[in-house]
Amino acid sequence: MKLTKYQHACFVVEKNGHTLVVDPGNFSHDFIIPSHVDAIVITHEHPDHLDESRIQSILQTNPKATIIAHESIAGRYTNYTSIGAKLGEPYTIGSFTLRFFGGSHASIAATIPVPPNLGVLIEDSLYYPGDSFFVPENVPIKTLALPASAPWMKMSEAMDFLARIKPEFAFPTHDGILSEDGKQLADRLLGMVASGQNTTYKRLDGQVIELS
Give the rounded distance of the alpha carbon of 17 from its chain centre. 20
Identity at 51, one-letter amino acid code: D
Q: What mean pLDDT comes out for the span 157-171?
A: 99
- Local structure of 98: helix, strand or coil: strand
Helices (H), the chain: 52-61, 71-74, 155-165, 180-195
The confidence band for 140, taking pLDDT boundaries of 50, 70 and 90, is: very high
pLDDT at 133: 99
Residue 212 pLDDT > 90:
no
Q: How far apart are CA 3 and CA 126, in angstroms?
A: 10
Residue 159 pLDDT > 90:
yes
- Chain segment 86-97, per-residue pLDDT in tens: 999 999 999 999
- Chain segment 57-108, per-residue pLDDT in tens: 999 999 999 999 999 999 999 999 999 999 999 999 999 999 999 999 999 9
- Rg (Cα) of the chain, in Å, rounded? 16
For residue 87, the 8-state DSSP code is T
Sign of torsion over alpha carbons 50, 6, 54, 70: negative
Q: Are strands 126-128 and 116-122 parallel, antiparallel or unpaired?
A: antiparallel
For residue 135, the 8-state DSSP code is -
- Looking at 3.40.50.12280, 3.60.15.10, 3.40.50.880, 3.10.110.10, the CATH number of the domain 2-210 comes to 3.60.15.10
Share of the chain above pLDDT 90, in %: 100
pLDDT at 82: 98
